[in-house]
Homo-oligomer: A and B are copies of this chain.
Amino acid sequence: TQQLLLGRVPRPRPFRVTNADRSVKKGIIADMLEDLMNKASDSLSVLCVSALMLDEDGTGVDTEEFFQTLPENTVFMVLEKGEKWTPHPNSPPRDQLSECEPR
């Protein structure tokens, strides 16, 4: 029924998934969000996936519909319980002071 709602059949596509500290990144083929979560969990040895975010800005990807709109080779971050997304070190400095120097 989900496929009908989306109006298309999900097909396997390549994505990239990194862990919370970005020490490991893997290329993973998945057709659906749950598929990606399962494979990311295996590939990155994450025992229990609590969330899948967009690496670029920490957007949580919770729904199949949104997942299906993402382009090939989108980079995800997989989080375990208690872990948090953090901005990429390469990203342009955005209000560095407020982010980095809480007073």
Contacts and interface: CB of A to CB of B under 8 A. Distances in A.
B65 A29 contact: yes
A16 B62 CA distance: 12
A46 interface: no
B16 A59 contact: yes
A93 interface: yes
Interface residues of A, number: 41
8 contacts: A5-B12, A12-B65, A26-B59, A27-B60, A27-B66, A28-B66, A89-B95, A90-B92
Contacts of A101: 100
Interface of A: 5-6, 12-14, 16, 24-29, 43, 54, 57-63, 65-67, 69-70, 72, 75, 87, 89-97, 99-101
A6 B13 CA distance: 10
A60 to B, nearest CB: 5
Given A16-B57, A96-B97, 11 more contacts: A24-B60, A27-B60, A28-B63, A29-B66, A57-B75, A87-B97, A89-B95, A89-B97, A90-B96, A93-B97, A100-B101
